[in-house]
Structure 1
Amino acid sequence: MTESFIFEAQRRDMAKVARKMFERKLTNVAGGNISQKITASKDIAYGHVKLKKGHDYMIMTPTFMSEAWFGELEASQILVVDLETGEQLDGSGRLTREVNLHQEAYQANKNIKVVYHSHALNSMFWATIGKDMPNVTEATSNDLALGEIKCLPYRPACSKELADMVHENLIALGDKAANNIFLLNSHGVLITTDDLHHATCILETVEWNAEIAYKEAVFQGLELLNGYHSKGKIIEN
């Protein structure tokens, strides 16, 4: 089947994921953004857009994805961006100022194919207090093998300082960077993985974990629990 515009199938899929992200309250009207790295398999020309074989591009949700459109995006609104330069090549939307965060995440590890940022409600609780999220559910610890759910120090949104800090912490993770979620202090969550749908799975599963860990924290304050409990044992006092 011939595509009517560049990376049509991938852009349609991302528009669908962005819609579900908003509908399922995995972000809010304050924002959130998603990108996916695509390496051109051949030289391609679509009108004014020319892609080079072997060069890395990313498709990305536009700024105001949530505020202006409530996640109801058309595939043509998903942007095509030169990953190296940050230049917008196609798409009817406007590029977010947070593109630098996505670029530096991809630079940190070649196996990262998706960068997924949201303001998920329950995870935001842990991010706002600046505390690592206890990993208490079997799904987050075993099925997704996320390990520590780390909260990074505060850096202003869209700043180079934030992008640099994320880059450094992803490099420190090594191979684990391609299956990871960070809490960004007072700013939300950042998922790096190798598949767009897997990123959505990580976020929704971590949201359940965030609420359960929050309730365990409340029970500790009421002296009904003596620490965070997971898989039949105390994991943190």
Structure 2
Amino acid sequence: MSDGRMIFERERQDMANIIKVIFQRKNTNVAGGNFSFKTTDENGKEYIIMTPTMMSEAYLGEVSPAQVLVVEPHTRRIIDGVGSLTREINMHEAVYDANPEIKAVLHAHAPNAMFWATTGLPMPNLTEATQKVGPVPVMDFEPNCSEELAALTSGYIKMNDLPLPHMLLLDSHGVLINAKGATGSEAIHKALQILDTAEWNAEIAYKQAVFQALGITDGFYSKGKKVGTLEELKNKVSIYNKAKIAAGGD
């Protein structure tokens, strides 16, 4: 506390609002999810603003700013916040270490994206709003909260030098969205926007796949162009619109 105010009060209020929005939009469930973003104090020391464990099951998405955690990176020491630290901090830290430009990590159990995550197939990326995300691959299965999952995701990011923002599907577990920004708060809002628009894309991609299976269409279409086929999807080819993104918008 400083002058009667919580440390990083504005950032923690922002995170509490984001938690509520994600639950209201049904972009995660009571089985979990965890979100974080980086911030710095007046001396330039870095901290992680992170959701507490049990935010879903115990609190049903109604988390106060005081429950949002301020965590010291790598020591995992809670500087402030009344909640407990999720075991999935290991994946968040590994992702931040994989690319210093990443300012926000958002892991959620969005239902339509999880459909694709359980198939073992990359999700076709077809909408204009999600084009900047590029390919949406699915990772091999590793148990949630495990060091193996942390190593798998961070290793994939480093090995493929993934541009930001990007989105990964965690087999049978959910989505992982990583973003950059001038601040961690800006980055987490970008990640939230991707989570929301990717849910629409996930349903659209599923319906386009059904239309192909029924013989109504001959491929996946995005912005008026055929960008892939069902056979390519079966062979785990990442299908997305590779055309230059038009100027305007985010």
Q: Give matches, 1:104-119, under 5 Å.
A: 104-119=94-109
SS in 2 for 1:152: coil
Q: Which runs of 5+ in 1 are unaligned?
A: 43-53
Deviation of 1:79 (Å): 0.7
The one-character-per-residue Cα deviations of 1:11-70 (angstroms, maximum 9, x if unpaired) are: 00000000111011010111111111112332xxxxxxxxxxx33210100111111111
**1:65 maps to 2:55:** yes
CA distance in 1, matches of 2:46, 2:159: 23
Map of 1:203 onto structure 2: 195
Q: Give matches, 1:16-165, under 5 Å.
A: 16-42=17-43, 54-141=44-131, 145-165=132-152
1:182 maps to amino acid: L
SS in 2 for 1:117: strand
* 1:181 corresponds to which of 150, 167, 177: 167
CA distance in 2, matches of 1:125, 1:225: 22
SS in 1 for 2:191: helix
Map of 2:228 onto structure 1: 236
The one-character-per-residue Cα deviations of 1:125-173 (angstroms, maximum 9, x if unpaired) are: 00011110001111111xxx11101111111100000000111111134
Q: Which runs of 5+ in 2 are unaligned?
A: 181-186, 230-250
User: Structure 1 residues 220, 81: closer, same or farther in 2, change over 3 A?
Assistant: same
**1:166 maps to 2:166:** no
* Residue correspondences, number: 222
Which aligned segments of 4 or more residues in structure 1 are displaced greater than 6 angstroms? none
SS in 2 for 1:72: coil
Deviation of 1:221 (Å): 1.6
CA distance in 1, matches of 2:166, 2:134: 9
SS in 2 for 1:4: coil
Map of 1:51 onto structure 2: none
RMSD: 1.4
Deviation of 1:85 (Å): 1.5
Deviation of 1:224 (Å): 1.3
CA distance in 2, matches of 1:13, 1:73: 11
The one-character-per-residue Cα deviations of 1:168-197 (angstroms, maximum 9, x if unpaired) are: 111134361x31111111110001112111
Cα pair 1:56 1:84 within 8 Å, conserved: no
Map of 1:222 onto structure 2: 214
CA distance in 1, matches of 2:53, 2:130: 30
